[in-house]
Amino acid sequence: MTERTFDPGMNTRRDFVAAWSRAAALCALAPLPFGQFGPGVRVGGDRIVTRSGRSASADRFPFGLGVASGEPAANDVVLWTRLLALPGDPGAAFPVQWEIAADDGFRSIVRRGESAALAELGHSVHVEVEGLEPERDYWYRFHAAGATSPVGRTHTAPTPGTLPDRFDFVFVSCQHYERGWYTGFRHMAAESPSLVVHLGDYIYESGPGIRNDLVRRHDAEEPRTLEDYRARYALYKRDPDLQAAHAAAPWVFTPDDHEVDNDWAGDHNTEQMNREAFLARRTAAFQAMYEHLPLRRTSLPVGPDAQLYRRLDFGSLMRLHVLDTRQYRTLQPCGGRRQPPCAEQHAEGATILGSEQADWLLDGLDRSPARYNVLANQVFMARLLEGEEELTLPMDKWDGYPADRDRLMTFLHDRRPANPVVLTGDLHTNWVNDLKLDFDRADSPTVGTEFAGTSISSSGDGVDTGPQGENALGHNPHIKFFNAQRGYVRCSLSPARSAADFRVMPYVTRPDAPIATRASYVVENGIPGAQET
């Protein structure tokens, strides 16, 4: 095999994405089938040679799951990696050196240190690096077991109280490993966002599929234990396009249901597990989730519980309210799934947020100094009536919990926090919705906007529109746009407007799909509701 070398000097983000693509191409030649090696790592034969000149067998390369950053603030950020294939005692702690630099060649290193990769946390590392400058790029890498990790880029938030001219981010969700290639992540990395917001379904918990249109298969049955969930995350994170997206920008992540179990709600599950067994499963799922994502220590699970709703500020341009619509909700009413409206929706105490989180959200909105109040939300918030002879509602969405939605819509109308915009995942389709004070009245005041984004790969190849969209548009006058292709949503904020571009691909069951903007909508400052551009 001819030895190939990655140039550590990368002058642009496009160079950075290209380097990751070259690394992914080498995976077909190296013993790690989905692994990859970043800038400064040479692959020759079955050996990996780092910048330090040391070498190790490819099947012992510790950084096979890549690197990531997340939770950006003006002066700090979380850096992440997880070590694999370590020598010696698997229960031992391993030292990991990290460094973060002001340039991609690491000539100006601004912070460095050492952390312990603990067996109790799957040998993952979460470094909260402080003392950084606001609103700028940094580059980072790790060293462990004689090897150097791929290089990642991160970006700090704007200075508190300042109003930037522009802030770009993307939001994304739903990446079923079996249903399609992660080409959208490769395109997303090339967009040069300052932030990625992931709205859940990072993994899927199902066993190997039997459909004949799957592009690859889960390699194990449905996870139940910590080791099972660790293996499922590792399978997903070996994908080179997903690794490239993590390495290109900091992420803010909130889970939906498939990180644990389909349609789970609080301490309820859909598989007839008793409460004790399900909470044990949730404990395992939450720990594996923390181990594989760049979350802060404040989100470290304690048993089956994790603090996942939180708030991030990006100067005075955006306050990001990250929601958790799974952990505190009551059981889906009316039998769950899609059902005709029923009295159980209005049962006393029915909630999707829980009282404490709901109070936290309204208080944060009321006190927000930001020009845009953006809610990172998992499931469809607007009303979604569908059907022919009998109209039904999706009871797993906010439609199943109208009291919480009515309280939020009334608050937005009465208290008028600046420019509320809801970002939603889950449905594997694109939507633009006016949020109404009263969804039963078409002339009811519009109090906010919902941008719902499609999946990266879940549901396989999509279509531009179709019967579902026509039916939904016909029954819901507050819905302005529908599309059922795969992709993500690119957002750009300025003091004058919030813009959303729906980026879609014609297929995901074949690799290397092109991407294009299907539609663009804007929310003008001070004017609720979105307009197509």
- Whether 216 and 300 share a structural domain: yes
Pick from 258, 183, 56, 179: nearest CA to 511: 183
Structure tokens at 201: 């379904």
**Of 155, 182, 204, which residue constitutes the final position of a domain?**
155
- Whether 248 and 318 share a structural domain: yes
Assess if residue 7 is contained within a domain: no
* Residue indicated by tokens 């040391």: 54
Q: Residue 217 phi/psi, 5° resolution?
A: -130, 150
Pick from 242, 252, 191, 250: nearest CA to 20: 242
pLDDT tens per residue across span 151-186: 999 999 999 999 999 999 999 999 999 999 999 999
> For the purposes of burial, counting CB atoms within 10 Å of the CB of 212, is it exposed (0-12), middle (13-18) or buried (19 or more)?
exposed
- Whether 179 and 277 share a structural domain: yes
- Whether 130 and 199 share a structural domain: no
- Whether 98 and 227 share a structural domain: no
- Whether 144 and 184 share a structural domain: no
**HSE, side-chain direction, 13 A CA sphere, residue 38:** 32
**Of 107, 134, 155, which residue constitutes the final position of a domain?**
155
CB 322 within 8 A of CB 298: no
Determine if residue 36 is left, alpha or beta; phi over 0 gives left, psi from -120 to 50 gives alpha, anything else beta: beta
Query: For the domain that residue 398 is a member of, what is the CATH number?
Result: 3.60.21.70
Pick from 194, 109, 198: nearest CA to 154: 194
Q: Determine the 3-state secondary structure of 132 from DSSP.
A: coil
CA distance 347 to 304: 26
> For the purposes of burial, counting CB atoms within 10 Å of the CB of 274, is it exposed (0-12), middle (13-18) or buried (19 or more)?
exposed
Return the DSSP state at 468: H
- Whether 223 and 326 share a structural domain: yes
- Whether 122 and 194 share a structural domain: no
* Residues 167, 437, 415: CA angle, nearest 5 degrees: 60
Q: Which of 248-271 are b and which e, b meaning 16 or more Cβ less than 10 Å from the residue's Cβ?
A: bbbbbbbbbbbbbbbbbbbebbee
- Whether 463 and 320 share a structural domain: yes
Task: Give the pLDDT score at 353.
Answer: 98
Structural domain span for residue 141: 13-155
Assess if residue 6 is contained within a domain: no
pTM over 0.85: yes
Assess if residue 3 is contained within a domain: no
Determine if residue 158 is left, alpha or beta; phi over 0 gives left, psi from -120 to 50 gives alpha, anything else beta: beta
Q: Residue 251 phi/psi, 5° resolution?
A: -115, 150
Return the DSSP state at 135: S
* Residue indicated by tokens 């509701």: 529
Query: For the domain that residue 24 is a member of, what is the CATH number?
Result: 2.60.40.380
- Whether 461 and 427 share a structural domain: yes
Task: Give the pLDDT score at 89.
Answer: 87
Q: What is the mean pLDDT of each run of 10 residues along the chain (533 residues)?
A: 30 46 36 30 30 48 97 98 90 96 98 97 98 98 96 98 97 98 98 97 98 96 98 98 98 98 97 96 98 98 98 98 98 97 97 98 98 98 96 98 98 98 98 98 97 98 90 96 98 98 98 98 97 97
Q: Which of 50-64 are b and which e, b meaning 16 or more Cβ less than 10 Å from the residue's Cβ?
A: bbeeeebebebbbbb
294 bridge partner residues: none
Assess if residue 160 is contained within a domain: no
Determine if residue 67 is left, alpha or beta; phi over 0 gives left, psi from -120 to 50 gives alpha, anything else beta: beta
Return the DSSP state at 133: P
Assess if residue 8 is contained within a domain: no
Antiparallel, parallel or unpaired: β 318-322 and 310-314: antiparallel
CA distance 282 to 276: 10
Task: Give the pLDDT score at 90.
Answer: 85
- Whether 140 and 251 share a structural domain: no
Assess if residue 105 is contained within a domain: yes
Assess if residue 59 is contained within a domain: yes
Question: Helix, strand, coil proportions of the chain in percent (round to 5)?
Answer: 20, 30, 50
Task: Give the pLDDT score at 120.
Answer: 97
Total number of domains constituting the chain: 2
**Of 155, 183, 200, which residue constitutes the final position of a domain?**
155
Assess if residue 479 is contained within a domain: yes
- Whether 112 and 150 share a structural domain: yes
Q: At what angle do helices 13-26 and 240-248 cross, to 10 degrees?
A: 160
